[in-house]
Amino acid sequence: MSVACGGNPAEKARSLAFKVPRGTPLEPFDVRSVIVERTAEGVMVERPHVGVIFTQPVTPTPASKPPIRLVDQDDQPIAGTARWIDPQILVFEPVDGLPIAKILELQLTAPLVAEGGATLSPRPLLTLRTMPHQLVSSGPMHSQLFPVSPIQVRFDVDVGADEVAAHGLLTFTDDKTPIPFTVAVDGEKRIVISPKVVLTPGRTVRFAWKEGRILASSVGTLELPPLEIPVSAVLLVLIVGEPSEDCKENSSGSSLKLFTCSSNVDYFHLILSAPITAAELEAHVHVGKKSTVALAGAVDGKSPRLLFRGYEPSGPSRWITVTIDPELTDVFGQKLDAKSMRSLKVRGY
């Protein structure tokens, strides 16, 4: 018996079943091959139909007594239906797909009789290993990993924050220094890893499981190749404005996102790629008139997000003029990148 892979199992089975030329003596009654959709990692769970090809046409059994079933390691059946697509091909279709990261056994559950009278006794046909949980995507939350920005990892299953915090290890690659971090999990099976310290530009951080994998009781084994991400060594203006439903995004250069709004909002954010000091803010960031626009909160040199409150009325519309000098330098001594906008207006505040 052979196991064939790839393509639609029913179509593949039909193509294989009729490769024996007419007039050729019948083969002994047996299973010729089993068709499954699989990769090197295991049987695919999203298109899990299983096709069984017999060497001779079979006298079909009643639909209420499917002659094959799929069971897990505890001999619990996988819900599904079996149907004949022709006298030599039987297809099993799981109702809810296949469980991830499991070993399953395909079994012939009742005797089959070929049209010529030969009989095939019940027996196990094939052992299948379904694909493990998959890493869907990973990388910095933004286009680059900035000194103050999170890393995101997305699996195909929900993972608890406590498990990631207990089994994950974030370090610098050059000296293996551990980096403290927090973990948040959103509703999209995404893990958000936020370092508690400002990362040094030019160094590379590494995130991995301490033991190479974790075994979460609710989801099975999760494997994660080590992620190594360089910390961006450039100062950029990332966002000016406050996104909302009635805001429009205008691109300016390769890094800046400017949001203009029609509503009268009395605050907005200026987000840089790295923190700056209060002295740099005072000297090189000019926002509206000091009498009407003020910074909300202190500049601590740790957060690249600056919140301003107030607006500058100008006729029927309201505008804030933001000017950033090219001499602006972050806490690491990096000057503003030429790609970032130096002077702009934010409308609607």
Query: What are the start and end residues of each CATH 2.60.40.1220 domain in the chain?
Result: 2-129, 135-230
* The amino acid at 241: G
> What does the pLDDT average to over 87-106?
83
pLDDT greater than 90 at residue 194: yes
Distance separating alpha carbons of residues 195 and 175, to the nearest angstrom:
17
Q: What is the pLDDT of residue 47?
A: 57
pLDDT greater than 80 at residue 308: no
Measuring CA to CA, how many Å separate 137 from each of 21, 153, 163, 206?
48, 6, 19, 16
Are β-strands 151-155 and 168-172 bridged in parallel, bridged antiparallel, or unpaired? Answer: unpaired
pLDDT greater than 80 at residue 210: yes
Q: What is the pLDDT of residue 100?
A: 75
pLDDT greater than 90 at residue 80: no
Helix H or strand E segment including 5: strand 2-5
CATH class for the region spanning 237-347: mainly beta
Distance separating alpha carbons of residues 168 and 45, to the nearest angstrom:
27
CATH class for the region spanning 135-230: mainly beta
Distance separating alpha carbons of residues 306 and 301, to the nearest angstrom:
11
Q: Which of 118-122, 217-221, 336-340 is least confident?
A: 217-221
> What does the pLDDT average to over 112-138?
84
> What does the pLDDT average to over 263-270?
67
Closest by CA position to 101, among listed 128, 81, 71, 137: 128
Q: How confident is the model at residue 349 (pLDDT cuts 50, 70, 90)?
A: very low
Q: What is the pLDDT of residue 243?
A: 57
> What does the pLDDT average to over 88-108?
84
Percent of the chain with pLDDT over 70: 69
Q: Report CA 183 to chain centroid distance, whole Å.
A: 16
Helix H or strand E segment including 206: strand 204-209
Provide CB contacts within 8 A for 131, sequence distance 6+.
39, 41, 42, 43, 44, 45, 100, 101
Does 1.10.3720.10 match the CATH number of domain 2-129? no
Q: What is the pLDDT of residue 4?
A: 47
Helices and strands in the chain, H and E counts: 3, 31
Q: Tell me the pLDDT tens digit for each residue of 273-300.
A: 899 998 998 888 887 665 566 677 778 7
258 or 118: whose pLDDT is higher? 118
Q: How confident is the model at residue 341 (pLDDT cuts 50, 70, 90)?
A: low
Q: Mean of the per-residue pLDDT values for the chain?
A: 77
251 or 319: whose pLDDT is higher? 319
| β-pair partners for 77 | 71
Provide CB contacts within 8 A for 340, sequence distance 6+.
235, 236, 237, 253, 255, 256, 324
Q: Tell me the pLDDT tens digit for each residue of 134-178.
A: 777 888 877 789 999 899 988 877 778 888 888 889 999 998 889
Q: What is the pLDDT of residue 176?
A: 87
